[in-house]
Amino acid sequence: MPRAAIARPHAFAPDIEAFISTFADDIADGSAAIFAGAGLSVSVGYVDWRGLMREIAHELGLSVDRETNLVAVAQYHLNERRNRTRINQKIIDEFSSGHTLNENHEVLARLPIATYWTTNYDRMIETALEAEGKVVDVKFSVSHLKTVRRGRAATVYKMHGDVSDPDNAVLTKDDYEGYFREREPFVTALTGDLVSKTILFLGFSFTDPNIDYVMSRVRVVLRNQPKQHYCILRREQRRAREKTSDFEYRRRQQDYFVKDLARIGIHALMVDDYAEITRILRAVEARYRTRTIFISGSAHDFHPWLADAAGSFIEALSRSLIAKGFNVVTGFGLGVGPSVISGALQEIQANPKRNSPNQLQAFPFPATDMSAAARRTLYQRHRQRVIGMAGTAIFLFGNKRNKRGTIVPADGMIEEFSIAKAAGLHIIPVGATGWIAGEIATEVAPLLSGRSASFRKALSIANNPASDIAAIVKAVLTMANDFRNS
């Protein structure tokens, strides 16, 4: 489905802007990971730790709002009842299916992040990833760590267990005290990721004794120079009718807490509202997608270009995009797709140490004998999926031959332009190639008038039929870089 536009309504704080850029780079490099706490799922109806233990505490004659050690409350219940049936049933009741995904889950699932850690029992992360068509390798017991699911796109480490196995969920003091004996491989795996990956903690309170121990151990091993990780925290807000002294005390507590997080290598990104988390994740996705360019084009007839000149231009453009570090995505459009692939492969194979085969992704339209209506629906979904991988779309030529043999505007390219606009992609029309690309240039040029002088000059060159091939390629690269860096 179309997503929100890339443009951000207002600027972030400088440290958040820096994080967005850095984390997008880490995602592209395959070195990013997510650690999800209960807060990530609370907005879709799941309880947090305090909510889970509320009834359990009440049965003991305790008030969960007055308790600070909820692990101890779970242990008290186990001590009194001599079994954990009631607690297990509570886990099943609270964390079984029935909740819808929130936008944070959806954004994370769209991004090519391969590693997720969580202390949650629910299946929201797995569900979001599977909804994106990804193969997920879920690990919530030591035995799961011994095997690998072939073709996996993401691994989800549920270090405290899963709702499907409440008997072995980590919940009580007994569970925590025995964690490093019973689940030591999880500690080892997490330690490795804390050293090698950049982890973003979301919805996590940092009160978990396991995480505190692992982070402290990593800091010591790295000689007090831990790798940089991030979390997003909401600044303390003054409550209704709260005394100024009480509010100042809570704010002072948070300041000390944030500084202590920095001690173990976690930089806290401070926001005033939890909705900012969604906005930050959107910005990370937008930043990541600016690395990827979708080339839309269709040409049965290249007129007024000569066919050989058109092919050389498309190859040079694709080759140059790869050389500048962009990823290229193509739907293998008529007359255009083969040259896109040829140019990209030339650059990838010529400089294998600098470029990666993953920089080129081709998604030809599936051949099918289904009805025209069903085919249109299938092709629309295909276009949405492919275009949704990119942050910028380049439009070239745009014609086809109809059933009567007449050269007409390519309606598929018109649809791709519509999808790209709805998804918030940056648009680069090469009007010099004519047809639909020329029409798009006429429509979007006024919308781009506020960009830099160098961008406007490049747009003019790309839309001028008198421009030569080298000048048009350089102009397109100028605009693509401007979008990537803005």
Active site residues: 160
DSSP string, 3-16: ---S--SSPPPHHH
- Fill in the amino acid letter for 196: S
Q: Dihedral angle at the C-alpha atoms of 465, 468, 474, 477, nearest 10 degrees?
A: 40
Separation between Cα atoms, residue 141 and residue 192, nearest integer Å: 18
Q: State the DSSP code for 136.
A: E
How far apart CA 162 and CA 119 sit, in angstroms, is: 9
Neighbours of 56 (CB within 10 A): 21
Phi then psi dihedrals of residue 438, to 5 deg: -65, -40
Q: Quickly count: other Cβ atoms within 10 Å of residue 327's Cβ.
A: 21
Question: Is the CB of residue 336 less than 8 Å from the CB of residue 297?
Answer: yes
Residue type, 81: R
Would you give the distance in Å from CA 117 to the centre of its chain?
Answer: 15
| Residue position matching structure tokens 């997008």 | 24
Phi, psi of 228 (to 5 degrees): -75, 125
Instruction: Find out whether 328 and 427 touch, Cβ atoms under 8 Å.
Output: no
Report whether 115 contacts 193 (CB < 8 A).
Answer: yes
CA-to-CA distance for 51 and 95, rounded, in angstroms? 12
Q: Is the Cβ–Cβ distance between 189 and 221 less than 8 Å?
A: no
* CA pair distance 283, 108, nearest whole angstrom: 12
